[in-house]
Amino acid sequence: MSFTQKKNYIRLVSICMLMTSIIFVGCKKEGAQGPEDKYSALFKDRTWSGEFKYANKFITEPFNMTFKGDGTLIWREYSNTYGGKYTIDKNAGIITFGLNPSASQVSAKIALEGKLTDFTFNQSEWRIIHSEINNAETERQIENTAWEGITYDEDGNGRGAHFNFLTNGQVHIPAGGLGVNFESTYYYSRSSGTLRFQHDKTSGSIRVAGTLFFVFMADSSLKGYEVRQLWVNGSLNGRYLHNFTVFKQ
């Protein structure tokens, strides 16, 4: 082999090695997402919904939480809206989060189809029943729609529930819609995939009033929680808890 042939051969080998390196690096960059990327896509700026309950109550409550890209979250439930922080263990596929100012902390396994399972808690007062990513639009159109389902009290007794959402931010509750034989129309407010309204109705010596909080769920239902007060002859007779599950008709 002449000197010129050797030189051309070496140049050809060098070019082949360079091309191989470029192809290898390109494949590595463009290949399947790593665990961190897959998990991050499920949480970054996404809203999850679910239900939780306190250990001493039969009634479950709905919630939703929005995970921000900076490792913070916003949790929304009946009693308040809370901030918090979260971390993701990409190797174990586990998310851990806590709410401020509570010292409670929750860990759960992440299913890539968008669900959390195998919850563990550092406190025994409350439990998350389930949570999943809410792929449905959180701000659904509900004006001029009717929703029906069931409401349960603290003893597990169920009754029918019925709400008619009107225009101009109003909700009409027909007789029996809250499990009581009252009918009225109220204004509701919406925010970040949640809905809230207060009701107050007097009939004779009976007055029933309460506040309802609803969350748009991943299964397209509205799940709600209510704290209701009953007055008889002007005196407070009791305070009652109810939850609701209704679907658009």
Three-state secondary structure call for residue 229? strand
Q: pLDDT at position 34, please?
A: 56
Examine the pLDDT at 69 and tell me if it is beyond 50.
yes
Distance of alpha carbon 46 from alpha carbon 135, whole angstroms: 9
Query: Cis peptide before 101, with omega less than 30 degrees from 0?
Result: yes
- Contact (CB, 8 A) for 215 and 193: yes
Backbone angles phi, psi at 4, to 5 degrees: -65, -40
Examine the pLDDT at 6 and tell me if it is beyond 70.
no
In the beta sheet, which residues pair with residue 218? none
What is the residue-averaged pLDDT of the chain? 83
Spell out the domains of the chain, with CATH numbers in brackets. 35-133 (2.40.128), 145-248 (2.40.128)
> In the structure, what pLDDT confidence band is assigned to residue 28 with cuts at 50, 70 and 90?
very low
Examine the pLDDT at 62 and tell me if it is beyond 90.
yes
Give per-residue pLDDT as tens, 149-180: 999 999 999 999 999 999 889 999 988 777 66
Examine the pLDDT at 25 and tell me if it is beyond 50.
no
Name the nearest CA neighbour of 125 among 153, 105, 110: 105
Distance of alpha carbon 201 from alpha carbon 190, whole angstroms: 22
- Contact (CB, 8 A) for 180 and 208: yes
Count CB-CB contacts under 10 A for residue 108: 19
